[in-house]
Chains A and B, each alone.
Chain A
Amino acid sequence: MQLFLEQLTNGLAVGGIYALIALGYTMVYGVLKLINFAHGDLFTIGAFFGLTLLLSLGLTSHIGPVAGIIVLVLMVMGLVALIGALLERVAYRPLRTSPRLSAVVSALGASIFFQNAIMLIYGARFRVYPHDLLPTTTVSFLGVSIPVMRIVLFGASLVMMAGLYYFVQRTKTGTAIRAAAIDQGAAKLMGIDVNRVIMYVFLIGPALGGAAGVMVGMYYGQINFTMGWVYGLKAFTAAILGGIGNIPGAMLGGLLLGVIEAMGATYISLAWKDAISFMVLILILIFRPTGLLGERVADKV
């Protein structure tokens, strides 16, 4: 029971991170029917920006650990959002009317570009988030001791997801994003500037992905220029699991995948941790290609 609780909380914390990344895939897919293969690398960029800011600004010592981390994450989100919007302008917008394959190739190219840029700037070795700058306390819950960081991260991902959900469901811009995802032409007939909607999506998705990057750095302590590949693939799996294009689906898929993976690693075998996600992906593609919450998708990848 203790082990179960331990792994459940771990799975939820990791799942929250998957969900944040998955939202970027799903929102871009929603409006452009494109898998942004460079999204995982935007997540990596977030992790490295977070490291740089953590080391150079000393925010956690100036304004305390909680405020420091919040400010740090917000700064990273802003920076990665800008890179995301730039990526759209440079790599995707010029190909908007080209055959879909061109955009896919462009996405792969952007991914390679980002990975190499990160490697050139930060080096190819693992980099370490300094643990003395981050809270390491634990709290006891039903006889299980849980790191505070785990709770903070899970809480943060929930807050961001709730914020996004509110934005997309309740605001005018959010409704415009949903409309453009359903029918771009009809959205234009409503007077919606679809280019602007796409820009918003490329600001929001990368911002969340960048936040997830910092969170992974804080949770595991280690980051590397290739980390976006594995996390990207898992988050992509989460997006498909929930139904790609579906925002609540990405949230559910991420959390579910995190828990499945944690449980699998504990009760089946740790060595199978990564394989489990891919088994999940294959099983969904076979038995429920539209995902858990998806209605009419997955035909255009």
Chain B
Amino acid sequence: MLLRIENLEVKYGNVQVLHGLNLAVKRGEIVTILGANGAGKSTTLMTISGLVKPFSGGIFLEDKPLHKLEAHQIVKLGLAQVPEGRRVFGTLSVHENLRLGAFTATDLALIQKNLDWVYEMFPILRKRRSQLAGTLSGGEQQMLAIGRGLMASPKILLLDEPSLGLAPILVKSIFATVREINKSGVTIVLVEQNARLALKLADRGYVLELGKIVLEDEAKALLTNQEVQNAYLGGAR
């Protein structure tokens, strides 16, 4: 297992949001986490990344306990996140945003290689490299956020609702890019509202309800699962 979450409990103040979550991701997989608004998907990702501290339970990346580390140390171990709402640095240029993605990297040749890769994947970013990130369109910002995540040369990339607020055609192209990133050897954890697309892309999926995993299976099986269809796919089609 590349990433393993065991009995994770998270509280915000007195309010418990995750109730003993278990989840595992194999190297090379695309795993998707489905769930309604407020189910705790973003909380899960933020806890993995170390921005939220767990109340109890453990998170292990290649058996190293992430829950004992600070956020900035976790990036160095090869885990990056593209957060919900993109959160690009609006008053910094596209290029500066990408360079910050490689903040923990020291190998200049590798940084340049990743930069070339990102610019190749999203040519529009190369054109806009000196522009302030805050002036990009929503779709371009999402590309920048993904590119920025890749700059860290992660083994595993967490994506939180990359399709949020994008036109359907852009969503398709973002998903195609995610597949391409995965093919290049990056393991993916994908949180999505667009369950159908996510399940078509993913190898396996988890369904999160009120801070608990209620279902886990091959993505194909979840696509045809009656409960999943009713709750997340708008009924059978």
Tell me if A191 and B91 are in contact (CB < 8 A).
no
User: Which label, helix, strand, loop or mixed, suits the secondary structure of the A interface?
Assistant: helix
Q: Please encode chain B, from 101 to 135, with 1 for each CB lying within 8 Å of some chain A CB and 0 for all others.
A: 10110000000000000000000000000000000
Binds A, one of B4-12, B19-27, B76-84: B76-84
Tell me if A175 and B49 are in contact (CB < 8 A).
no
State whether the Cβ of A193 lies closer than 8 Å to any Cβ in chain B.
yes
Which residues on A sit within 8 Å (CB–CB) of B39?
A: none
Q: Which one of A178, A185, A192, A193 lies within 8 Å of B91 (CB-CB)?
A: A178
Of residues 59 through 93 on chain B, the ones whose CB sits less than 8 Å from some CB of chain A are: 70-72, 74-76, 80-81, 83, 87-92
State whether the Cβ of B50 lies closer than 8 Å to any Cβ in chain A.
yes
State whether the Cβ of B99 lies closer than 8 Å to any Cβ in chain A.
yes
Tell me if A175 and B96 are in contact (CB < 8 A).
yes
Take A186-B83, A188-B50, A191-B72 as given contacts and tell me if A179 and B100 are in contact as well, using a CB distance cutoff of 8 Å: yes
A186 to B49, CA, bound (A): 11
State whether the Cβ of B152 lies closer than 8 Å to any Cβ in chain A.
yes
Take A186-B83, A190-B100, A192-B103 as given contacts and tell me if A178 and B92 are in contact as well, using a CB distance cutoff of 8 Å: yes
- Chain A residue with the shortest CB-CB distance to B97: A179
Q: Which one of B70, B83, B88 lies within 8 Å of A193 (CB-CB)?
A: B70
Tell me if A175 and B100 are in contact (CB < 8 A).
yes
- Chain A residue with the shortest CB-CB distance to B91: A182
Question: Would you give the shortest CB distance from A166 to chain B, in whole angstroms?
Answer: 15
Q: Which one of A176, A183, A188, A295 lies within 8 Å of B71 (CB-CB)?
A: A188
A182 to B70, CA, bound (A): 20
State whether the Cβ of A172 lies closer than 8 Å to any Cβ in chain B.
yes
A182 to B87, CA, bound (A): 9
Tell me if B75 and A175 are in contact (CB < 8 A).
no
State whether the Cβ of B51 lies closer than 8 Å to any Cβ in chain A.
yes
State whether the Cβ of A189 lies closer than 8 Å to any Cβ in chain B.
yes
Tell me if A191 and B81 are in contact (CB < 8 A).
no
Which residues on B sit within 8 Å (CB–CB) of A193?
A: 70, 72
Take A175-B100, A191-B75, A191-B103 as given contacts and tell me if A186 and B70 are in contact as well, using a CB distance cutoff of 8 Å: no
- Chain B residue with the shortest CB-CB distance to A178: B92
Tell me if B103 and A172 are in contact (CB < 8 A).
yes
Q: Which one of B70, B81, B90, B92 lies within 8 Å of A189 (CB-CB)?
A: B81
State whether the Cβ of B41 lies closer than 8 Å to any Cβ in chain A.
no
In this complex, how many residues of chain B approach chain A with their Cβ under 8 Å: the count is 26
Of residues 21 through 54 on chain B, the ones whose CB sits less than 8 Å from some CB of chain A are: 49-51
- Chain A residue with the shortest CB-CB distance to B145: A186
Q: Which one of B49, B50, B92, B104 lies within 8 Å of A182 (CB-CB)?
A: B92
Tell me if A189 and B49 are in contact (CB < 8 A).
yes
- Chain B residue with the shortest CB-CB distance to A173: B103
- Chain A residue with the shortest CB-CB distance to B76: A191
Which residues on A sit within 8 Å (CB–CB) of B49?
A: 188-189
Tell me if A186 and B50 are in contact (CB < 8 A).
no
Question: Would you give the shortest CB distance from B157 to chain A, in whole angstroms?
Answer: 11
State whether the Cβ of B212 lies closer than 8 Å to any Cβ in chain A.
no
State whether the Cβ of B155 lies closer than 8 Å to any Cβ in chain A.
no
Q: Which one of A176, A185, A295 lies within 8 Å of B83 (CB-CB)?
A: A185
Which residues on B sit within 8 Å (CB–CB) of A192?
A: 72, 100, 103
Which residues on A sit within 8 Å (CB–CB) of B50?
A: 188
Which residues on B sit within 8 Å (CB–CB) of A185?
A: 51, 83, 87
Which residues on A sit within 8 Å (CB–CB) of B104?
A: 190-191
Interface centre among A179, A186, A194 (most CB of B within 10 A): A186
Question: Would you give the shortest CB distance from B124 to chain A, in whole angstroms?
Answer: 21
Tell me if B103 and A176 are in contact (CB < 8 A).
yes
Tell me if A179 and B152 are in contact (CB < 8 A).
no
Q: Supply 8 further A-B pairs (C-beta < 8 A) apart from A178-B92, A179-B89, A190-B148.
A: A175-B99, A183-B89, A186-B83, A187-B100, A190-B152, A192-B100, A193-B70, A194-B72
Q: B interface vs A, CB < 8 Å?
A: 49-51, 70-72, 74-76, 80-81, 83, 87-92, 96, 99-101, 103-104, 148, 152
The 10 closest A-B pairs by CB, nearest first: A191-B75, A191-B104, A188-B71, A186-B87, A193-B72, A190-B103, A191-B103, A190-B100, A191-B72, A182-B89
A-B contact pairs, 18 of them (CB 8 A): A176-B103, A178-B89, A178-B91, A179-B100, A183-B87, A186-B83, A186-B87, A186-B88, A186-B89, A187-B100, A188-B50, A188-B71, A189-B51, A189-B75, A190-B101, A190-B104, A191-B152, A295-B91
